[in-house]
Amino acid sequence: MKFPVAVVLSLTTGRCLCSPHDIHKFIEHVAGHQVWIHEMAERTLWEKLSARVFAQHPSLRDVAEFTPPTDKAEVEAYCRTFVSKEVDRLGVDVLDVAMGMDARTESPVDSMRRMVPDKEIFVATVPEANR
């Protein structure tokens, strides 16, 4: 499946260069299964999925250093320029990335419990009529 370079770079650089929704969908595509929002905070997930993308597109390892300005008003323009330069370097504005084939190894609730073991996690069931 093809994805815009900005989406792919958001995963491989760890920088939000597009909408968070698009990053989330891309992460689920590369993983091959649903990834809940809290699971996206795990560095090991990003490293594993980035490695898959790098295996398919080794030139992404040569991405320019990302050094955003300190002035918040300039960050959005910097990000657009950063992506534009990478699109020019790669010669394409979309990249074909294969879908992952992993299955979940734990439930989203279990992953939350593992990530915050010192907190109580409550699960609520919403009646069908209220969905």
Q: pLDDT by residue (tens digit) across 34-45?
A: 999 999 999 999
In percent, the amount of the chain with pLDDT more than 90 equals 85
pLDDT band at 128 (very low <50, low <70, confident <90, very high): confident
List helix spans (H) across 14-71: 20-31, 43-56
pTM, two decimal places: 0.87
96 membership: H or E segment, kind and range: strand 94-96
Asked whether 23 and 7 are in contact (CB, 8 A), the reply is yes
The residue-averaged pLDDT of 2-29 equals 96
The residue-averaged pLDDT of 87-109 equals 95
